[in-house]
Structure 1
Protein backbone atom coordinates (compact mmCIF):
# COMPACT_ATOMS: atom_id res chain seq x y z
CA UNK A 1 0.00 0.00 0.00
CA UNK A 2 1.22 3.51 -0.81
CA UNK A 3 2.42 5.70 2.05
CA UNK A 4 0.23 8.79 2.36
CA UNK A 5 1.75 11.88 3.96
CA UNK A 6 -0.74 14.65 4.77
CA UNK A 7 1.86 17.41 4.88
CA UNK A 8 3.26 16.50 1.48
CA UNK A 9 -0.25 16.22 0.03
CA UNK A 10 -0.95 19.72 1.32
CA UNK A 11 2.13 20.99 -0.52
CA UNK A 12 0.93 19.32 -3.71
CA UNK A 13 -2.53 20.83 -3.24
CA UNK A 14 -1.05 24.29 -2.72
CA UNK A 15 1.06 23.92 -5.86
CA UNK A 16 -2.09 23.20 -7.82
CA UNK A 17 -3.60 26.40 -6.47
CA UNK A 18 -0.50 28.65 -6.72
CA UNK A 19 0.85 27.11 -9.96
CA UNK A 20 4.55 27.74 -9.27
CA UNK A 21 7.03 26.29 -6.78
CA UNK A 22 8.10 29.79 -5.72
CA UNK A 23 4.53 30.91 -4.98
CA UNK A 24 3.87 27.64 -3.15
CA UNK A 25 6.98 28.14 -1.01
CA UNK A 26 5.91 31.68 -0.12
CA UNK A 27 2.39 30.54 0.82
CA UNK A 28 3.70 27.75 3.07
CA UNK A 29 6.67 29.69 4.49
CA UNK A 30 9.13 27.24 2.99
CA UNK A 31 12.04 27.51 0.60
CA UNK A 32 11.52 26.50 -3.05
CA UNK A 33 14.12 23.75 -2.66
CA UNK A 34 12.25 22.33 0.36
CA UNK A 35 9.01 22.29 -1.65
CA UNK A 36 10.69 20.46 -4.53
CA UNK A 37 12.30 17.95 -2.16
CA UNK A 38 9.04 17.19 -0.38
CA UNK A 39 7.19 16.63 -3.66
CA UNK A 40 9.99 14.38 -4.94
CA UNK A 41 9.72 12.32 -1.76
CA UNK A 42 5.92 12.11 -2.14
CA UNK A 43 6.25 10.87 -5.73
CA UNK A 44 8.66 8.19 -4.49
CA UNK A 45 6.24 7.17 -1.70
CA UNK A 46 3.27 6.92 -4.06
CA UNK A 47 5.25 5.31 -6.89
CA UNK A 48 4.01 7.70 -9.59
CA UNK A 49 5.40 10.91 -11.15
CA UNK A 50 3.62 13.98 -9.80
CA UNK A 51 5.33 16.80 -11.71
CA UNK A 52 6.51 17.32 -15.26
CA UNK A 53 8.58 20.15 -16.66
CA UNK A 54 6.89 22.73 -18.81
CA UNK A 55 9.55 25.21 -19.90
CA UNK A 56 10.87 26.91 -16.76
CA UNK A 57 7.84 25.80 -14.80
CA UNK A 58 6.37 22.52 -13.67
CA UNK A 59 2.86 21.21 -14.04
CA UNK A 60 0.91 18.50 -12.22
CA UNK A 61 0.69 15.16 -13.97
CA UNK A 62 -2.61 13.39 -14.47
CA UNK A 63 -1.59 11.07 -11.62
CA UNK A 64 -1.13 14.06 -9.32
CA UNK A 65 -4.56 15.40 -10.24
CA UNK A 66 -6.07 11.97 -9.65
CA UNK A 67 -4.45 11.84 -6.20
CA UNK A 68 -5.83 15.27 -5.29
CA UNK A 69 -9.30 14.39 -6.54
CA UNK A 70 -9.48 11.44 -4.19
CA UNK A 71 -7.82 13.17 -1.22
CA UNK A 72 -9.95 16.33 -1.39
CA UNK A 73 -12.61 14.84 0.97
CA UNK A 74 -9.77 14.14 3.41
CA UNK A 75 -8.78 17.80 3.47
CA UNK A 76 -12.41 18.78 3.99
CA UNK A 77 -12.68 16.37 6.92
CA UNK A 78 -9.44 17.70 8.39
CA UNK A 79 -10.84 21.23 8.21
CA UNK A 80 -13.92 20.03 10.07
CA UNK A 81 -11.78 18.29 12.66
CA UNK A 82 -9.66 21.40 13.14
CA UNK A 83 -12.76 23.55 13.61
CA UNK A 84 -14.24 21.05 16.06
CA UNK A 85 -11.00 20.88 18.03
CA UNK A 86 -10.78 24.67 18.18
CA UNK A 87 -14.37 24.78 19.43
CA UNK A 88 -13.56 22.14 22.02
CA UNK A 89 -10.50 23.96 23.38
CA UNK A 90 -12.50 27.18 23.54
CA UNK A 91 -15.26 25.48 25.49
CA UNK A 92 -17.74 25.67 22.65
CA UNK A 93 -17.93 21.93 22.05
CA UNK A 94 -17.67 18.69 23.95
CA UNK A 95 -19.76 16.15 25.83
CA UNK A 96 -20.27 16.48 29.58
CA UNK A 97 -21.81 13.59 31.52
CA UNK A 98 -23.93 14.67 34.47
CA UNK A 99 -25.07 12.39 37.28
CA UNK A 100 -28.05 13.93 39.07
CA UNK A 101 -30.61 12.90 41.67
CA UNK A 102 -34.21 12.74 40.47
CA UNK A 103 -35.64 16.06 41.63
CA UNK A 104 -32.63 18.02 40.41
CA UNK A 105 -33.16 16.86 36.83
CA UNK A 106 -36.32 18.89 36.03
CA UNK A 107 -35.46 21.74 38.39
CA UNK A 108 -31.79 22.34 37.50
CA UNK A 109 -30.40 20.08 34.79
CA UNK A 110 -33.14 20.55 32.19
CA UNK A 111 -33.10 24.39 32.44
CA UNK A 112 -29.30 24.29 32.22
CA UNK A 113 -29.42 22.14 29.08
CA UNK A 114 -31.93 24.47 27.47
CA UNK A 115 -29.72 27.48 28.20
CA UNK A 116 -26.65 25.70 26.82
CA UNK A 117 -28.47 24.88 23.59
CA UNK A 118 -28.98 28.60 23.07
CA UNK A 119 -25.62 29.91 24.21
CA UNK A 120 -23.24 27.01 23.46
CA UNK A 121 -24.91 24.54 21.11
CA UNK A 122 -21.70 22.57 20.66
CA UNK A 123 -21.70 21.51 24.32
CA UNK A 124 -23.67 18.28 24.74
CA UNK A 125 -24.95 17.15 28.13
CA UNK A 126 -25.66 13.48 28.77
CA UNK A 127 -27.73 12.93 31.92
CA UNK A 128 -27.66 9.89 34.17
CA UNK A 129 -30.16 9.81 37.02
CA UNK A 130 -28.58 8.56 40.24
CA UNK A 131 -29.25 8.64 43.95
CA UNK A 132 -27.55 11.56 45.69
CA UNK A 133 -24.84 9.41 47.29
CA UNK A 134 -24.39 7.24 44.17
CA UNK A 135 -23.51 10.29 42.09
CA UNK A 136 -20.17 10.56 43.91
CA UNK A 137 -19.39 6.92 43.25
CA UNK A 138 -20.00 7.55 39.54
CA UNK A 139 -17.82 10.66 39.67
CA UNK A 140 -14.99 8.79 41.39
CA UNK A 141 -15.18 5.97 38.84
CA UNK A 142 -15.02 8.43 35.94
CA UNK A 143 -18.51 7.48 34.73
CA UNK A 144 -19.76 11.08 35.02
CA UNK A 145 -17.99 14.45 34.83
CA UNK A 146 -20.36 16.41 37.10
CA UNK A 147 -22.30 15.06 40.09
CA UNK A 148 -25.37 16.79 41.49
CA UNK A 149 -26.02 15.77 45.05
CA UNK A 150 -27.32 16.87 48.43
CA UNK A 151 -24.74 18.36 50.74
CA UNK A 152 -25.87 15.85 53.36
CA UNK A 153 -24.70 13.05 51.05
CA UNK A 154 -21.50 14.74 49.88
CA UNK A 155 -18.01 13.93 51.13
CA UNK A 156 -16.27 16.47 53.29
CA UNK A 157 -15.46 19.75 51.56
CA UNK A 158 -11.85 19.01 52.44
CA UNK A 159 -11.84 15.82 50.37
CA UNK A 160 -8.93 16.35 47.94
CA UNK A 161 -10.59 14.29 45.20
CA UNK A 162 -13.37 16.77 44.44
CA UNK A 163 -14.16 20.41 43.85
CA UNK A 164 -17.63 21.20 45.19
CA UNK A 165 -19.83 24.02 43.92
CA UNK A 166 -22.80 25.08 46.11
CA UNK A 167 -25.88 25.60 43.96
CA UNK A 168 -29.07 26.00 45.93
CA UNK A 169 -30.61 26.07 49.41
CA UNK A 170 -33.94 24.39 48.72
CA UNK A 171 -36.63 25.19 51.35
CA UNK A 172 -38.63 22.30 52.77
CA UNK A 173 -42.38 22.91 52.85
CA UNK A 174 -44.80 20.85 54.86
CA UNK A 175 -47.50 19.01 52.88
CA UNK A 176 -50.96 18.80 54.47
CA UNK A 177 -54.33 17.55 53.25
CA UNK A 178 -56.69 20.47 52.46
CA UNK A 179 -59.03 19.60 55.31
CA UNK A 180 -56.34 19.52 57.97
CA UNK A 181 -57.06 21.86 60.92
CA UNK A 182 -53.64 23.52 60.48
CA UNK A 183 -53.79 23.87 56.70
CA UNK A 184 -54.69 27.57 56.95
CA UNK A 185 -53.05 28.44 60.25
CA UNK A 186 -50.89 31.58 59.99
CA UNK A 187 -47.17 31.21 60.70
CA UNK A 188 -47.18 27.42 60.82
CA UNK A 189 -44.14 25.80 62.42
CA UNK A 190 -42.88 22.24 62.63
CA UNK A 191 -43.59 22.07 66.36
CA UNK A 192 -47.29 22.58 65.57
CA UNK A 193 -47.13 19.20 63.82
CA UNK A 194 -45.19 17.25 66.46
CA UNK A 195 -48.11 14.89 67.17
CA UNK A 196 -48.86 14.12 63.49
CA UNK A 197 -48.05 10.86 61.70
CA UNK A 198 -45.17 11.64 59.30
CA UNK A 199 -44.52 10.09 55.91
CA UNK A 200 -40.92 9.58 54.83
CA UNK A 201 -38.57 6.84 53.70
CA UNK A 202 -37.28 4.20 56.05
CA UNK A 203 -33.65 5.05 55.28
CA UNK A 204 -31.49 7.22 53.08
CA UNK A 205 -30.84 10.95 52.90
CA UNK A 206 -34.47 12.02 52.89
CA UNK A 207 -35.19 10.05 56.07
CA UNK A 208 -32.15 11.69 57.68
CA UNK A 209 -33.21 15.16 56.52
CA UNK A 210 -36.77 14.73 57.85
CA UNK A 211 -35.64 13.37 61.19
CA UNK A 212 -32.98 16.05 61.58
CA UNK A 213 -35.40 18.88 60.76
CA UNK A 214 -37.99 17.65 63.26
CA UNK A 215 -35.41 17.00 65.95
CA UNK A 216 -34.03 20.51 65.47
CA UNK A 217 -37.59 21.74 66.11
CA UNK A 218 -37.64 19.81 69.38
CA UNK A 219 -39.40 16.52 68.65
CA UNK A 220 -38.80 13.11 67.12
CA UNK A 221 -41.23 12.45 64.25
CA UNK A 222 -43.56 9.48 64.47
CA UNK A 223 -43.30 7.65 61.16
CA UNK A 224 -46.85 6.77 60.21
CA UNK A 225 -45.96 5.49 56.74
CA UNK A 226 -42.80 4.81 54.76
CA UNK A 227 -42.35 5.91 51.15
CA UNK A 228 -39.46 7.27 49.12
CA UNK A 229 -41.17 8.55 45.95
CA UNK A 230 -42.84 11.96 45.92
CA UNK A 231 -45.85 10.68 43.99
CA UNK A 232 -46.57 8.10 46.70
CA UNK A 233 -45.87 10.52 49.55
CA UNK A 234 -48.16 13.24 48.20
CA UNK A 235 -50.89 10.72 47.39
CA UNK A 236 -50.89 9.58 51.01
CA UNK A 237 -50.93 13.16 52.26
CA UNK A 238 -53.86 13.90 49.96
CA UNK A 239 -55.67 10.89 51.47
CA UNK A 240 -55.21 12.33 54.97
CA UNK A 241 -52.81 9.57 56.04
CA UNK A 242 -50.20 11.94 57.43
CA UNK A 243 -48.01 14.96 56.76
CA UNK A 244 -44.63 15.22 55.06
CA UNK A 245 -41.74 17.54 54.45
CA UNK A 246 -41.38 18.16 50.72
CA UNK A 247 -38.51 20.01 49.01
CA UNK A 248 -39.95 22.98 47.19
CA UNK A 249 -37.87 22.12 44.14
CA UNK A 250 -39.63 18.76 43.91
CA UNK A 251 -43.18 19.48 44.96
CA UNK A 252 -44.83 20.90 41.86
CA UNK A 253 -48.58 21.36 42.21
CA UNK A 254 -51.16 18.86 43.42
CA UNK A 255 -54.76 19.95 43.82
CA UNK A 256 -55.39 17.74 46.85
CA UNK A 257 -52.35 18.87 48.85
CA UNK A 258 -51.65 22.13 50.66
CA UNK A 259 -47.96 23.11 50.77
CA UNK A 260 -47.10 25.44 53.63
CA UNK A 261 -44.03 27.63 53.81
CA UNK A 262 -42.32 27.24 57.19
CA UNK A 263 -40.78 30.71 57.06
CA UNK A 264 -37.28 32.10 56.94
CA UNK A 265 -36.15 29.85 59.78
CA UNK A 266 -37.65 26.71 58.24
CA UNK A 267 -35.50 23.74 57.23
CA UNK A 268 -33.67 23.62 53.91
CA UNK A 269 -31.66 21.07 51.99
CA UNK A 270 -28.48 22.17 50.25
CA UNK A 271 -27.83 21.10 46.65
CA UNK A 272 -24.27 20.98 45.36
CA UNK A 273 -22.44 20.12 42.17
CA UNK A 274 -19.05 18.45 42.20
CA UNK A 275 -16.32 17.58 39.73
CA UNK A 276 -13.09 15.67 40.08
CA UNK A 277 -10.40 18.04 41.32
CA UNK A 278 -9.12 20.06 38.37
CA UNK A 279 -12.08 19.13 36.20
CA UNK A 280 -13.58 22.57 36.66
CA UNK A 281 -10.84 24.01 34.44
CA UNK A 282 -12.18 22.16 31.39
CA UNK A 283 -14.04 24.62 29.20
CA UNK A 284 -17.08 22.44 28.46
CA UNK A 285 -17.42 21.39 32.11
CA UNK A 286 -17.08 25.03 33.13
CA UNK A 287 -19.90 25.94 30.73
CA UNK A 288 -22.15 23.29 32.31
CA UNK A 289 -21.34 24.44 35.85
CA UNK A 290 -22.12 28.01 34.84
CA UNK A 291 -25.46 26.96 33.36
CA UNK A 292 -26.30 25.02 36.52
CA UNK A 293 -25.50 28.08 38.65
CA UNK A 294 -27.78 30.21 36.50
CA UNK A 295 -30.57 27.62 36.73
CA UNK A 296 -30.12 27.53 40.50
CA UNK A 297 -30.27 31.34 40.68
CA UNK A 298 -33.47 31.32 38.61
CA UNK A 299 -34.80 28.61 40.90
CA UNK A 300 -34.09 30.72 43.96
CA UNK A 301 -35.96 33.64 42.39
CA UNK A 302 -38.87 31.36 41.62
CA UNK A 303 -38.86 30.01 45.15
CA UNK A 304 -38.85 33.50 46.68
CA UNK A 305 -41.74 34.67 44.53
CA UNK A 306 -43.82 31.47 44.69
CA UNK A 307 -47.08 32.14 46.48
CA UNK A 308 -48.05 29.44 48.95
CA UNK A 309 -51.46 28.86 50.54
Structure 2
Protein backbone atom coordinates (compact mmCIF):
# COMPACT_ATOMS: atom_id res chain seq x y z
CA UNK A 1 0.00 0.00 0.00
CA UNK A 2 1.25 3.50 -0.86
CA UNK A 3 2.67 5.50 2.06
CA UNK A 4 0.77 8.77 1.69
CA UNK A 5 2.68 11.88 2.80
CA UNK A 6 0.26 14.55 4.05
CA UNK A 7 2.90 17.28 3.92
CA UNK A 8 3.48 16.67 0.23
CA UNK A 9 -0.27 16.52 -0.43
CA UNK A 10 -0.70 19.91 1.26
CA UNK A 11 2.03 21.30 -1.00
CA UNK A 12 0.20 19.89 -4.02
CA UNK A 13 -3.07 21.47 -2.86
CA UNK A 14 -1.33 24.82 -2.27
CA UNK A 15 0.02 24.76 -5.84
CA UNK A 16 -3.47 24.02 -7.17
CA UNK A 17 -4.99 26.92 -5.20
CA UNK A 18 -2.18 29.44 -5.80
CA UNK A 19 -1.51 28.65 -9.46
CA UNK A 20 2.29 28.93 -9.47
CA UNK A 21 5.19 27.30 -7.63
CA UNK A 22 6.38 30.72 -6.48
CA UNK A 23 3.01 31.68 -4.99
CA UNK A 24 2.60 28.28 -3.32
CA UNK A 25 6.09 28.58 -1.84
CA UNK A 26 5.25 32.02 -0.43
CA UNK A 27 2.07 30.72 1.24
CA UNK A 28 3.92 27.74 2.73
CA UNK A 29 7.02 29.74 3.77
CA UNK A 30 9.20 27.52 1.58
CA UNK A 31 11.53 28.16 -1.32
CA UNK A 32 10.28 27.43 -4.85
CA UNK A 33 13.01 24.82 -5.28
CA UNK A 34 11.89 23.05 -2.09
CA UNK A 35 8.30 22.97 -3.36
CA UNK A 36 9.43 21.50 -6.70
CA UNK A 37 11.63 18.95 -4.94
CA UNK A 38 8.81 17.78 -2.65
CA UNK A 39 6.42 17.40 -5.57
CA UNK A 40 9.04 15.43 -7.53
CA UNK A 41 9.37 13.10 -4.53
CA UNK A 42 5.58 12.76 -4.38
CA UNK A 43 5.52 11.79 -8.07
CA UNK A 44 8.08 9.05 -7.43
CA UNK A 45 6.23 7.80 -4.32
CA UNK A 46 2.92 7.56 -6.18
CA UNK A 47 4.34 6.32 -9.45
CA UNK A 48 2.61 9.02 -11.50
CA UNK A 49 3.71 12.50 -12.60
CA UNK A 50 2.10 15.35 -10.60
CA UNK A 51 3.28 18.23 -12.80
CA UNK A 52 3.67 18.86 -16.52
CA UNK A 53 5.23 21.78 -18.44
CA UNK A 54 2.86 24.58 -19.46
CA UNK A 55 4.75 27.28 -21.33
CA UNK A 56 7.31 28.69 -18.90
CA UNK A 57 5.34 27.35 -15.95
CA UNK A 58 3.98 24.01 -14.79
CA UNK A 59 0.47 22.76 -14.18
CA UNK A 60 -1.12 19.80 -12.43
CA UNK A 61 -1.57 16.59 -14.37
CA UNK A 62 -4.80 14.60 -14.53
CA UNK A 63 -3.25 12.18 -12.03
CA UNK A 64 -2.57 15.05 -9.62
CA UNK A 65 -6.19 16.22 -9.84
CA UNK A 66 -7.39 12.68 -9.15
CA UNK A 67 -5.19 12.58 -6.04
CA UNK A 68 -6.45 15.98 -4.89
CA UNK A 69 -10.10 14.91 -5.13
CA UNK A 70 -9.40 12.24 -2.54
CA UNK A 71 -6.97 14.40 -0.54
CA UNK A 72 -9.62 17.09 -0.01
CA UNK A 73 -11.88 14.52 1.66
CA UNK A 74 -8.96 13.32 3.79
CA UNK A 75 -8.14 16.86 4.88
CA UNK A 76 -11.80 17.46 5.73
CA UNK A 77 -11.78 14.37 7.95
CA UNK A 78 -8.55 15.50 9.59
CA UNK A 79 -9.97 18.96 10.27
CA UNK A 80 -12.98 17.33 11.89
CA UNK A 81 -10.68 15.19 14.04
CA UNK A 82 -8.71 18.28 15.09
CA UNK A 83 -11.94 20.12 15.90
CA UNK A 84 -13.20 17.29 18.10
CA UNK A 85 -9.82 16.99 19.80
CA UNK A 86 -9.86 20.72 20.53
CA UNK A 87 -13.17 20.20 22.34
CA UNK A 88 -11.58 17.66 24.66
CA UNK A 89 -8.29 19.47 25.18
CA UNK A 90 -9.29 23.13 25.32
CA UNK A 91 -12.97 23.42 26.19
CA UNK A 92 -13.61 27.15 26.01
CA UNK A 93 -10.01 28.03 25.24
CA UNK A 94 -8.30 28.44 21.87
CA UNK A 95 -8.39 30.95 19.05
CA UNK A 96 -11.00 31.81 16.42
CA UNK A 97 -10.08 34.05 13.48
CA UNK A 98 -13.02 35.87 11.91
CA UNK A 99 -13.22 37.59 8.52
CA UNK A 100 -16.22 39.92 8.35
CA UNK A 101 -17.48 42.98 6.48
CA UNK A 102 -17.39 46.35 8.24
CA UNK A 103 -21.01 46.72 9.38
CA UNK A 104 -21.10 43.10 10.59
CA UNK A 105 -18.00 43.80 12.67
CA UNK A 106 -19.57 46.81 14.37
CA UNK A 107 -23.13 45.46 14.63
CA UNK A 108 -22.61 41.74 15.28
CA UNK A 109 -19.04 40.65 15.94
CA UNK A 110 -17.72 43.33 18.31
CA UNK A 111 -20.68 43.00 20.74
CA UNK A 112 -20.16 39.21 20.69
CA UNK A 113 -16.43 39.54 21.38
CA UNK A 114 -17.11 41.96 24.24
CA UNK A 115 -19.35 39.38 25.91
CA UNK A 116 -16.83 36.57 25.30
CA UNK A 117 -14.05 38.54 26.98
CA UNK A 118 -16.13 38.29 30.16
CA UNK A 119 -17.63 34.80 29.82
CA UNK A 120 -14.72 33.00 28.11
CA UNK A 121 -11.54 35.03 28.71
CA UNK A 122 -9.26 32.23 27.45
CA UNK A 123 -10.98 32.21 24.06
CA UNK A 124 -9.06 34.60 21.78
CA UNK A 125 -10.86 36.15 18.81
CA UNK A 126 -8.94 37.80 15.95
CA UNK A 127 -10.79 40.00 13.46
CA UNK A 128 -10.01 40.73 9.81
CA UNK A 129 -12.19 43.16 7.83
CA UNK A 130 -13.03 41.55 4.50
CA UNK A 131 -15.89 42.03 2.07
CA UNK A 132 -18.10 39.29 0.60
CA UNK A 133 -16.04 37.12 -1.78
CA UNK A 134 -12.75 38.03 -0.05
CA UNK A 135 -14.02 36.66 3.27
CA UNK A 136 -14.84 33.32 1.63
CA UNK A 137 -11.42 33.22 -0.03
CA UNK A 138 -9.67 33.84 3.30
CA UNK A 139 -11.72 31.03 4.82
CA UNK A 140 -11.01 28.59 2.00
CA UNK A 141 -7.23 29.11 2.20
CA UNK A 142 -7.18 28.84 6.00
CA UNK A 143 -6.43 32.47 6.82
CA UNK A 144 -9.60 32.71 8.96
CA UNK A 145 -11.75 30.10 10.71
CA UNK A 146 -15.11 31.82 10.33
CA UNK A 147 -16.44 34.28 7.77
CA UNK A 148 -19.38 36.62 8.28
CA UNK A 149 -20.44 37.88 4.89
CA UNK A 150 -23.29 38.65 2.56
CA UNK A 151 -24.93 35.83 0.65
CA UNK A 152 -23.53 36.22 -2.86
CA UNK A 153 -23.34 33.97 -5.89
CA UNK A 154 -20.14 32.11 -6.61
CA UNK A 155 -19.09 31.83 -2.96
CA UNK A 156 -19.53 29.25 -0.20
CA UNK A 157 -22.72 27.87 -1.70
CA UNK A 158 -20.65 26.54 -4.61
CA UNK A 159 -17.51 25.50 -2.69
CA UNK A 160 -17.72 21.95 -1.26
CA UNK A 161 -14.96 22.76 1.24
CA UNK A 162 -17.17 25.32 3.01
CA UNK A 163 -20.42 25.10 4.95
CA UNK A 164 -22.69 28.17 4.94
CA UNK A 165 -24.93 29.01 7.92
CA UNK A 166 -27.69 31.68 7.76
CA UNK A 167 -27.39 34.41 10.41
CA UNK A 168 -30.06 37.02 9.71
CA UNK A 169 -31.91 39.06 7.14
CA UNK A 170 -30.71 42.63 7.71
CA UNK A 171 -33.46 45.14 6.77
CA UNK A 172 -32.52 48.02 4.48
CA UNK A 173 -33.55 51.53 5.50
CA UNK A 174 -33.39 54.69 3.41
CA UNK A 175 -31.12 57.59 4.36
CA UNK A 176 -32.64 60.98 3.48
CA UNK A 177 -31.37 64.54 3.84
CA UNK A 178 -32.89 66.42 6.77
CA UNK A 179 -35.99 68.22 5.46
CA UNK A 180 -36.67 65.74 2.65
CA UNK A 181 -40.44 65.40 1.97
CA UNK A 182 -40.37 61.70 2.97
CA UNK A 183 -38.48 62.33 6.20
CA UNK A 184 -41.72 62.78 8.15
CA UNK A 185 -44.11 60.71 6.03
CA UNK A 186 -45.91 57.99 7.98
CA UNK A 187 -45.32 55.15 5.52
CA UNK A 188 -42.60 56.00 2.96
CA UNK A 189 -42.30 53.78 -0.10
CA UNK A 190 -39.17 53.12 -2.07
CA UNK A 191 -40.97 53.84 -5.35
CA UNK A 192 -41.46 57.44 -4.22
CA UNK A 193 -37.70 57.88 -4.65
CA UNK A 194 -37.62 56.66 -8.26
CA UNK A 195 -36.62 60.13 -9.53
CA UNK A 196 -34.26 60.96 -6.65
CA UNK A 197 -30.47 61.22 -7.10
CA UNK A 198 -28.98 58.03 -5.64
CA UNK A 199 -25.64 57.33 -3.99
CA UNK A 200 -24.07 53.84 -4.18
CA UNK A 201 -20.92 52.10 -5.36
CA UNK A 202 -19.88 51.31 -8.90
CA UNK A 203 -19.29 47.61 -8.18
CA UNK A 204 -19.53 44.99 -5.48
CA UNK A 205 -22.36 43.42 -3.47
CA UNK A 206 -23.86 46.69 -2.21
CA UNK A 207 -24.37 47.96 -5.77
CA UNK A 208 -26.21 44.73 -6.61
CA UNK A 209 -28.26 44.93 -3.42
CA UNK A 210 -29.29 48.55 -4.14
CA UNK A 211 -30.19 47.79 -7.75
CA UNK A 212 -32.10 44.68 -6.72
CA UNK A 213 -34.14 46.45 -4.04
CA UNK A 214 -35.05 49.29 -6.40
CA UNK A 215 -35.91 46.81 -9.17
CA UNK A 216 -38.30 45.07 -6.79
CA UNK A 217 -39.91 48.48 -6.22
CA UNK A 218 -40.31 48.95 -9.97
CA UNK A 219 -37.54 51.36 -10.99
CA UNK A 220 -33.86 51.71 -11.81
CA UNK A 221 -32.10 54.17 -9.49
CA UNK A 222 -30.22 57.01 -11.15
CA UNK A 223 -26.75 57.07 -9.60
CA UNK A 224 -25.77 60.70 -9.08
CA UNK A 225 -22.69 60.02 -6.94
CA UNK A 226 -20.44 57.01 -6.45
CA UNK A 227 -19.14 55.93 -3.05
CA UNK A 228 -18.56 52.71 -1.13
CA UNK A 229 -17.49 54.03 2.28
CA UNK A 230 -20.45 54.48 4.64
CA UNK A 231 -19.08 57.66 6.22
CA UNK A 232 -18.73 59.20 2.76
CA UNK A 233 -22.21 58.07 1.70
CA UNK A 234 -23.86 59.51 4.81
CA UNK A 235 -21.89 62.76 4.47
CA UNK A 236 -23.20 63.12 0.90
CA UNK A 237 -26.75 62.43 2.03
CA UNK A 238 -26.39 64.93 4.88
CA UNK A 239 -25.21 67.54 2.40
CA UNK A 240 -28.36 67.02 0.35
CA UNK A 241 -26.60 65.39 -2.61
CA UNK A 242 -28.88 62.38 -2.80
CA UNK A 243 -30.44 59.42 -1.02
CA UNK A 244 -29.09 55.94 -0.24
CA UNK A 245 -30.13 52.60 1.13
CA UNK A 246 -28.37 51.73 4.37
CA UNK A 247 -28.35 48.44 6.31
CA UNK A 248 -30.12 48.35 9.68
CA UNK A 249 -26.85 47.12 11.21
CA UNK A 250 -25.34 50.48 10.28
CA UNK A 251 -28.27 52.63 11.34
CA UNK A 252 -28.24 51.03 14.81
CA UNK A 253 -25.22 53.19 15.54
CA UNK A 254 -27.33 56.34 15.23
CA UNK A 255 -28.04 58.89 12.54
CA UNK A 256 -25.35 61.10 11.05
CA UNK A 257 -25.56 64.89 11.04
CA UNK A 258 -28.18 66.14 8.62
CA UNK A 259 -29.44 62.62 7.86
CA UNK A 260 -32.80 61.04 8.62
CA UNK A 261 -32.97 57.23 8.39
CA UNK A 262 -36.44 55.81 7.73
CA UNK A 263 -37.60 52.20 7.68
CA UNK A 264 -39.50 50.87 4.64
CA UNK A 265 -42.01 48.44 6.22
CA UNK A 266 -44.18 48.24 3.12
CA UNK A 267 -41.29 47.26 0.83
CA UNK A 268 -39.23 45.23 3.32
CA UNK A 269 -35.95 45.28 1.35
CA UNK A 270 -33.18 43.33 3.08
CA UNK A 271 -29.82 41.66 2.61
CA UNK A 272 -28.96 38.17 3.85
CA UNK A 273 -26.03 37.88 6.25
CA UNK A 274 -24.41 34.45 6.46
CA UNK A 275 -21.61 32.78 8.35
CA UNK A 276 -19.38 30.13 6.81
CA UNK A 277 -16.85 27.65 8.14
CA UNK A 278 -14.65 25.00 6.55
CA UNK A 279 -16.33 21.61 6.20
CA UNK A 280 -15.46 19.41 9.15
CA UNK A 281 -15.08 22.24 11.68
CA UNK A 282 -18.77 22.95 12.34
CA UNK A 283 -18.70 21.19 15.72
CA UNK A 284 -15.48 22.78 17.01
CA UNK A 285 -16.41 24.12 20.46
CA UNK A 286 -14.64 27.49 20.09
CA UNK A 287 -16.39 28.10 16.75
CA UNK A 288 -19.78 27.08 18.11
CA UNK A 289 -19.32 29.37 21.11
CA UNK A 290 -18.39 32.36 18.96
CA UNK A 291 -21.25 31.72 16.53
CA UNK A 292 -23.73 31.49 19.41
CA UNK A 293 -22.61 34.88 20.69
CA UNK A 294 -22.83 36.45 17.23
CA UNK A 295 -26.40 35.14 16.93
CA UNK A 296 -27.22 36.88 20.25
CA UNK A 297 -26.16 40.20 18.68
CA UNK A 298 -28.91 40.06 16.05
TM-aligned CA distance change 1:282 to 1:86, over 3 Å:
closer
Distance 1:288 1:184 in 2: 40
Instruction: Report the counterpart of residue 273 of structure 2 in structure 1.
Output: 271
Distance 1:161 1:86 in 2: 20
Instruction: Report the counterpart of residue 193 of structure 1 in structure 2.
Output: 193
Distance 1:94 1:153 in 2: 32
Instruction: Report the counterpart of residue 72 of structure 1 in structure 2.
Output: none
- Whether the aligned pair in 2 keeps the contact of 1:136 and 1:154 (CA below 8 Å) is no
**TM-score normalised to the size of structure 2?**
0.68
Q: Does 1:118 align with 2:118?
A: yes
- Whether the aligned pair in 1 keeps the contact of 2:87 and 2:285 (CA below 8 Å) is no
Runs of 4+ in 1 over 6 A off after TM superposition: 85-88
Matches within 5 A, 1:1-309: 89-152=89-152, 155=155, 157=157, 159-251=159-251, 252=253, 253-263=255-265, 265-296=267-298
**Gaps spanning 5+ residues in structure 2: where?**
1-84
Distance 1:147 1:140 in 2: 10
- Whether the aligned pair in 2 keeps the contact of 1:197 and 1:223 (CA below 8 Å) is yes
Residue 166 of structure 2 aligns to a residue whose secondary structure is strand
Asked which structure has the greater CA Rg, the reply is 1
Higher relative contact order, chain-length normalized (CA < 8 Å, sep 6+): 2
- Whether the aligned pair in 2 keeps the contact of 1:88 and 1:94 (CA below 8 Å) is no
Residue 273 of structure 2 aligns to a residue whose secondary structure is strand
Q: CA deviation at 1:86?
A: 8.2
Distance 2:161 2:186 in 1: 46
**Gaps spanning 5+ residues in structure 1: where?**
1-84, 297-309
TM-aligned CA distance change 1:246 to 1:163, over 3 Å:
same
- Whether the aligned pair in 1 keeps the contact of 2:100 and 2:148 (CA below 8 Å) is yes
Distance 2:86 2:167 in 1: 30
Post-superposition Cα deviations, 1:128-184, rounded to whole Å, max 9, x if no partner, equal 111121000000100000001001356263642211111121111001111112211
- Whether the aligned pair in 1 keeps the contact of 2:86 and 2:285 (CA below 8 Å) is no
Please report the RMSD computed on the Cα atoms of aligned residues, expressed in angstroms: 1.8
Q: CA deviation at 1:88?
A: 6.3
- Whether the aligned pair in 2 keeps the contact of 1:88 and 1:284 (CA below 8 Å) is no
Distance 1:134 1:86 in 2: 27
Residue 168 of structure 1 aligns to a residue whose secondary structure is strand
Q: CA deviation at 1:89?
A: 2.8
Distance 1:126 1:193 in 2: 41
TM-aligned CA distance change 1:185 to 1:211, over 3 Å:
same
Distance 1:261 1:141 in 2: 39
- Whether the aligned pair in 1 keeps the contact of 2:176 and 2:259 (CA below 8 Å) is yes
**TM-score normalised to the size of structure 1?**
0.65
